[in-house]
Amino acid sequence: MRRGLAWVGALLLLGGCVSSWPIDEIQIIQQMGYDFENGRYTGTAVYPTFKQGPMTKPNMLTTMSPTIYDLIPGLSSKSALPVEEGQLRLILFGKEFAKRGVTQITHSLARNNKVGSHLFLGVAEGSAKELLEITAKTTLSDTLYLPNLVKQNEQSMNLPKTNLHLFLYRYFSPGSDPFLPYFEKKGDFAKLEGVALFRDDRYVGHVSLRDSFLMKILLGETKNGVYQLKVGNRGKQGEDRVMLQNLWAKPKYEWKRDGGRHVLDVFVHIHASVRDYPSWLDQPGQDLFADVKKKMQNELEHNMRRLFRYFQKKRIDPLGIGDFVRSVTRHWDSDAFYREYPDLDIRPHVTVDIVHTGIGE
């Protein structure tokens, strides 16, 4: 009895120590942008203004400073309410900022116990501020447009999985480099365009969503995604293409020595369904999809070789090839491996199984 009363008393004391804030008495930042222009840093915060009922309206705060560390205090100095970061969902870096390195921000986020490790990060083609202004104006009540865009493209389309936790893991790993979603301004809209690539913490280039599908496959995390394949020159434009939807893919890496040099064989087995195809392919008594399968295997192997060469030329390893080689090599030497990496012979081998071709099969 006494023990039970003691527990109740302890819970009451703990409950009394928790500070609570009414939602209309704090500034809940949900998205942040960082830019560098003309020798100065710009910080942009997007926060919701709560109206009657569940309706919200995106609003923005902006500040400038010669140093990164003054941006959050600068935002607070412009806010009539205390700034809270506990609901932060996305950090967006302008390209010029990302080229200078993002370590100071990501390390600060990692030390901030109010911020979750599943926070999304991203890179804007131009200005992060401009992109956030567009989303705040065009999405009306959706203050989480960009984080939701990233999430649904990870789950059902071509974007490999990224967040703060994975960025830090790939950054600190001696055998990989980080990457982030890449956004561009398209008229009055913000659009996801692919994957931004980093060497250590600095932006060095990007690839398209088409190539990010290949990255997703090679990282072994894909159960979804779409790939468009040209299969002929018949009919009008668009009537010569097959839309394939990836159902399941599994890569297998093999590290070996061939003569005096190392070789990495990459075996990829894809189970795909045909989501859409031209009517002339649907001919009784002819297995035209066997040709589609062969074309897809050849094209994927060609594009994977091109993608590997691009990464090697940039001296970056977003696929974590170094991590794989380290796992199968005793006394792995990171410096020796990455001296060899730009000239490493990487050979992709793709096998495609077309599982089904629609309701009429």
Task: Give yes or no for residue 49 having a pLDDT over 80.
Answer: no
Phi-psi region of 292 (alpha: psi -120 to 50; beta: other; left: phi over 0): alpha
Task: Give yes or no for residue 93 having a pLDDT over 90.
Answer: yes
Residue found under tokens 């990501």:
106
How far apart are the C-alpha atoms of 308 and 207, rounded to whole Å?
12
How far apart are the C-alpha atoms of 173 and 200, rounded to whole Å?
10
**pLDDT band, residue 273 (cuts 50/70/90):** confident
pLDDT of residue 94: 96
Q: What's the rounded mean pLDDT across residues 101-117?
A: 85
How far apart are the C-alpha atoms of 32 and 128, rounded to whole Å?
9
* Cα distances (Å, whole numbers) of residue 216 to 4, 164, 179, 304, 309: 53, 18, 12, 12, 17
Mean pLDDT rounded to a whole number for the chain: 82
Higher-confidence position of 134 and 93: 93
Q: Which of 28-32, 140-144, 235-239, 344-348 has the lowest mean pLDDT?
A: 235-239
Token pair of 351 as six digits: 């096998």
Task: Give yes or no for residue 361 having a pLDDT over 50.
Answer: no
Exposure class string for 160-180: b at 16+ Cβ within 10 A, else e? bebbbebbbebbebebbbbbb
For residue range 251-268, what is the model confidence (pLDDT) as tens digits? 999 999 887 789 999 999
**What is the strand order of the sheet 179-186 is part of?**
56-65, 40-50, 31-37, 90-94, 120-124, 179-186, 189-199, 202-208
pLDDT of residue 30: 84
Task: Give yes or no for residue 107 having a pLDDT over 90.
Answer: no
For residue range 124-152, what is the model confidence (pLDDT) as tens digits? 998 999 999 888 776 555 667 889 899 99
pLDDT of residue 360: 46
Percent of the chain with pLDDT over 70: 79
Kindly report, as residue ranges, where domains of CATH 3.30.300.210 are found in the chain: 223-361
Task: Give yes or no for residue 328 having a pLDDT over 60.
Answer: yes
Q: Which amino acid is at 118?
A: H
Q: Report the length, in residues, of the chain.
A: 361
Higher-confidence position of 14 and 113: 113
Superfamily of structural domain 223-361? Nutrient germinant receptor protein C, domain 3 (3.30.300.210)
pLDDT of residue 224: 76
Residue found under tokens 């399968």:
293
pTM, full prediction:
0.85
Q: Which of 81-95, 182-196, 209-223 has the lowest mean pLDDT?
A: 81-95
Task: Give yes or no for residue 13 having a pLDDT over 60.
Answer: no
Task: Give yes or no for residue 163 having a pLDDT over 60.
Answer: yes
How far apart are the C-alpha atoms of 338 and 93, rounded to whole Å?
28
pLDDT of residue 27: 67
| Contacts with 196 (C-beta within 8 Å, 6 or more apart), sequence order | 98, 122, 123, 179, 180, 181, 182, 203, 205, 206
Q: What's the rounded mean pLDDT across residues 58-64?
A: 81
Task: Give yes or no for residue 284 having a pLDDT over 70.
Answer: no
Q: What's the rounded mean pLDDT across residues 210-230?
A: 85
pLDDT of residue 226: 81
